[in-house]
Structure 1
Amino acid sequence: MSEFRQNPINKSWVLFAPNRSKRPEDYRTYSVMASEPEIDHKCVFCPGNEHANPEISRYPQGKDWEIRVIPNKFQALERTAVYRHKEFYISMSGDGDHEVIITRKHNEPVALQSIATVELSLNTFIERYHELSKRPDLAYVQIFHNHGRDAGASLIHPHYQLIATPIVPPHIHSEIMGCYHYYQGNHSCVYCDIIKEELKVRDRVVYENDMFVVLSAYASRKPFETWILPKKHVARFEEADPEMIKHLSFVLKVMLGQLYTKLSDPPLNFYIHTMPIRRSESNLSIHEEAAYHWHLTIFPRITIWAGFEYATGIPVNPMPPEVTAKFLRGE
């Protein structure tokens, strides 16, 4: 039976249409990385080709690096902002920063990397957050990962991207304000309350450890949309302590490994949502810290939007999260 579900944070709707559904295992894809070499001498991200890109940093130092940070050769943003006020429209130049965070092995997706490599990547994210937060022209730092051509990856070599913008993206703003309004009415964090509810019901819980819970989202926009939430209330990812990052490394590795194995390495995105660097509505900032809760979303790209989704903004999901959670739990 079809059902509309509302996201409790931003109040958006999703239509679940399970009568259109396949079985979870029918979403399996084919891995293109399995036949790739560990080092591809033609790949500009591989060891031996460091000269092809200017470098911001590497970890550890020396030729045996595991992580390199470089400027994106095809910058989405520029370093200087120019505001343009026209009679009707307002625009500005694409001010900000665009970086690439590269892992070493050409044929090793994040799902197959060691926990130590994943942990080093996450700590690199935090280091870049702190460095870019010093710039007064930036408002938000977005870290994301594209895996597979259908998820927007233009290169096979595993890498993350960081884009820092002078504005708070509308999706983030909507999420923060949804959390703020929930906090005003309930005097609690909506994500903390989601965690309590999900751990009580457990139908959509995929995995948990001492510090994190993994959910198939109640109003998931696509099959297998997965949320990784810290159990402790923390508004900013960049304030996560080393123990939390260690636990997150394990959880992220487990979940990406599950998707890799059970869906045969599907194309996916994952991204971290955190508080902005700074906000213009300073009177809200104290309450926003209490209301907001950083999180990581994994977003497999195994269905496509059609006319209804683009016309209405309401995703149609053929696979209820209770089904995907059960599948990922191996039941």
Structure 2
Amino acid sequence: MYVPIMKNRDRELSAVSKLNECFNESNIPLFEIIRDTYTPRYELDENNEYKYKIITTKRGNKIHRKIRQQPGPDDINTLDIINEKMQNKKAFIDFFRFNPTSEYKKFDIDKIQLSWNLNTDFHLYKNRLIGACAYANFIPTISIKQGYEMDPYELQTFCLDLQKNTVSMAIRITDDLVSAYQDVLNTMLRSSDFLLVDIREQNLDSRAIELSEIAQWHTIFKKLLLNSPRKADIKNGDYEVNMITNKIDNSVATRYTEYKFNGFGDFGGLKDNLPAGEGSNGMGAALGLLYNHSSNSFLSCLNPNTSDGMRGYRSVTQWILQNLFLIDSADVCPTIAEIRNFGSETKKFGNWGTWNELALIRYIHQRNQ
């Protein structure tokens, strides 16, 4: 079983829409909910007509735009949007909390306002997770890690609250805390539930002792091993030019059964990071990462000239199209189908977000082959 881990950002949700046929009982995504989205509502005048404001564009043109109301709790459609993208298929739902001083170096609070609120409001966290039980296909996921531990009795009560309202639930826990919760996990989780053990960016062999202990458990629930093989601190320009990279250790994908796990999960070729405030002003090395399932490796397609910035994706595209025999000899890859259109229909070659989405699409599609 494979679990692609995604945050509910626009690019990841776009990839989900394009890959819906890939999701099934053997391929269930996990969504880290970092922000809320809202159904738009607009101000009306005394005649029940929309109110408008005049906006001046960068080119000096003036356009009329409806005045949007400030959204409220009743306008939240976060899970509705995900359910629509998933077309009622199964998905793990993890209302994401994080330690702002130790887990992530850069983030923009305005882009992760929900996570920021959840960090300090357990009541809100619990209510939002219980709310996910309203969707029969969603698997609400309790997350436990350093800084967000729970009293064992409190965890038992939380599990019971979820189990009363859903067929399946999950507990996501970092490997360093598993032993402290072993009794609760083995007692509370049903045969339809999941234990997601997360080793984050750590090497599989470095966690051999902890994972070997878990392998000795006799359980009725499914155990999945999560990891983040693409290190967050490795920059685009650090990757190799047009060759298989040795900077991503994806061995969990082939070795999870050594520790008697039923499946594994990762970030689909993306970094585990949060939306950041400052941009790069379009500068930086243009990197395209293309996964190959048969060799469990990533092809690094790179223009290392940082002054080219996003313009460097022109040469990345050209190199890929000249070497399709290495990448898509069967002509079935949806990522390559999109790349073929660059420079022809769109006349553009994409930006950082475009190529993150393409890497994710490629990875999930390859895992489904």
TM over 0.5: no
Q: Considering Cα pairs closer than 8 Å and 6+ residues apart, tell me whether 1 or 2 has the greater RCO.
A: 1
Q: Which has the larger radius of gyration?
A: 2
